[in-house]
């Protein structure tokens, strides 16, 4: 009887030892048990440094930072020193002491320029959560005091907005929308002064570029608020697989022709339209910049 008890006890000890060994897992093992997440990898163990903040989105930045942060590892696009913004402010009479609505700030480069040029306040609306968080990093690193970044869809904002702004900045967003003409109409309700930089559809130019042509699948006639136009469907395709994607919130968008963009602005009350930065050979599609002012504005 006692022999049987000792044997059972030895078996229990052996089982307990194996169980303890099985529970002794490394951090990597625990991460594997949690589905591959090791929370400790998200801690910074070096002294505070601006690069630590940028490295949260390592490999995803588009913009090169201005001085004194120009040596930081980020992107290469000069969006913090954009000649298109400089030109637009000259055409629109500057932003000193004015209120600005910025649609799709991306990484806050233009926001930074607007604040540096004396804007009294800037409301910048960004729908891409990762881009929004990058804007907050920029706000902290460059000490932006008069800019407020909002996370959300600017079209939905404009549909219910009753606030008038002195200037509306819409750079790089028109060709990412499913209903771009609605944006033009909504922008007119929000401000008498508008800046746009955008790509546009040109059948000859796009069909001759294989890297672009396959993205355009069809076209359709449309009407919004009495303005008839044609929409050209553009599919994002493989771009949706990249963390750096900064397009619209759907898998496709609609592009307008250059003529329809200009006619749409006129239809919704803009008369003083000035154009610059024509780039019919832009690798991502023909593009141009414009400023538009309502005819009633002195």
Give 120's DSSP letter: S
Q: Are 187 and 168 in contact (CB under 8 A)?
A: yes
Residue 226 pLDDT more than 60? yes
Phi-psi region of 93 (alpha: psi -120 to 50; beta: other; left: phi over 0): left
State pLDDT tens for residues 67-119. Answer: 999 999 999 999 999 999 999 999 999 999 999 999 999 999 999 999 999 99
> What is the distance between the alpha carbons of residues 287 and 67, in angstroms, rounded to a whole number?
29
Mean pLDDT of the chain, nearest integer: 91
Written as six digits, the tokens of 297 are 């504005």
- Inside any domain, residue 14: no
In a domain, 57, yes or no: no
Q: What is the DSSP letter of 172?
A: S
Judge whether 91 lies within some domain.
yes
Q: Is residue 22 part of a domain?
A: no
pTM: 0.86
Q: What percent of the chain has pLDDT over 90?
A: 80
Tokens linked to 103:
């649609």
Dihedral Cα 183, 116, 298, 262, nearest 10 deg: -30
Looking at residue 20, its pLDDT comes to 58
Q: Which of 126, 69, 91, 32 is nearest to 292 (CA)?
A: 91
pLDDT digits (tens, 9 = 90+) for 275-296: 999 999 999 999 999 999 997 6
Tell me which of 22-31, 93-102, 179-188, 253-262 is least confident.
22-31
88 vs 28: which has the higher pLDDT: 88
Provide the residue range defining the domain that includes 128. Answer: 83-294
pLDDT tens for 134-173 read 999 999 999 999 999 999 999 999 999 999 999 999 999 9
Q: What tokens does 88 get?
A: 């637009």
In a domain, 26, yes or no: no
Does 29 fall in a domain? no
Sign of CA dihedral 210, 211, 215, 219: negative
Task: Output the CA–CA distances (angstroms, integers) from residue 4 to 14, 17, 154, in the order listed.
Answer: 15, 20, 77
**Range from 1-10, 172-181, 182-191, 241-250 carrying the lowest mean pLDDT:** 1-10
Alpha-carbon Rg for the chain in angstroms:
27
pLDDT confidence band for 238 (50 / 70 / 90): confident
Sign of CA dihedral 138, 134, 118, 82: positive
Q: Which is more confident, 245 or 11?
A: 245
SS (H, E, C) 228-259: EEEEEEEECHHHHHCCCCCCCCCCEEEECEHH
Q: What is the pLDDT of residue 2?
A: 42
Query: Does the residue 8 lie in any domain?
Result: no
Give the number of domains in the chain.
1
> What confidence tier does 242 reach under pLDDT thresholds 50, 70, 90?
confident
What percent of the chain has a predicted confidence (pLDDT) above 70? 87
Q: Please provide the DSSP assignment of 16-81 as one string.
A: HHHHHHHH---HHHHHHHTTS--GGGG---SPP-HHHHHGGGTTT--BPPPTTSTTSS---B-TTS
Q: Would you say 189 and 195 are in contact if contact means Cβ atoms under 8 Å apart?
A: no
Confidence of residue 38 (pLDDT cuts 50, 70, 90): confident
Is 44 inside a domain boundary?
no
Instruction: Report the CATH number at residue 175.
Output: 3.40.50.150
């Amino acid at each position: 009887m006692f022999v049987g008890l000792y044997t059972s006890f030895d078996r229990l000890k052996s089982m307990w030892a194996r169980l303890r060994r099985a529970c002794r897992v490394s951090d990597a093992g625990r991460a594997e048990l949690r589905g591959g997440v090791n929370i400790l990898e998200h801690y910074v163990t070096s002294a505070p440094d601006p690069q630590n903040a940028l490295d949260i989105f390592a490999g995803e930045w588009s913009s090169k930072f201005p001085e004194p942060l120009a040596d930081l590892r980020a992107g290469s696009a000069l969006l913090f020193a954009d000649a298109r913004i400089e030109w637009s402010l000259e055409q629109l009479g500057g932003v000193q002491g004015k209120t600005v609505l910025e649609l799709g700030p991306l990484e806050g480069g233009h926001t930074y320029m607007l604040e540096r040029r004396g804007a009294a306040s800037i409301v910048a609306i960004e729908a891409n959560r990762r881009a929004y968080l990058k804007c907050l990093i920029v706000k902290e690193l460059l000490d932006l005091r008069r800019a407020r970044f909002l996370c959300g869809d600017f079209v939905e904002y404009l549909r219910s907005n009753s606030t008038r702004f002195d200037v509306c900045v819409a750079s790089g967003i028109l060709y990412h929308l499913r209903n771009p003409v609605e944006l033009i109409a909504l922008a007119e309700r929000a401000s008498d002064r508008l800046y746009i930089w955008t790509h546009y559809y040109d059948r000859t130019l796009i069909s001759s570029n294989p890297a672009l042509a396959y993205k355009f699948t069809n076209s359709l006639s449309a009407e919004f608020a009495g303005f008839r136009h044609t929409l050209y469907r553009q599919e994002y395709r493989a771009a949706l697989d990249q963390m750096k994607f900064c397009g619209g919130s759907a898998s496709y968008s609609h592009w307008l022709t250059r003529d329809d963009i200009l006619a749409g602005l006129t239809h919704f009350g803009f008369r003083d339209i000035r154009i610059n930065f024509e780039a019919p050979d832009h690798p991502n599609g023909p593009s141009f910049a414009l400023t538009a002012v309502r005819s009633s504005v002195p």
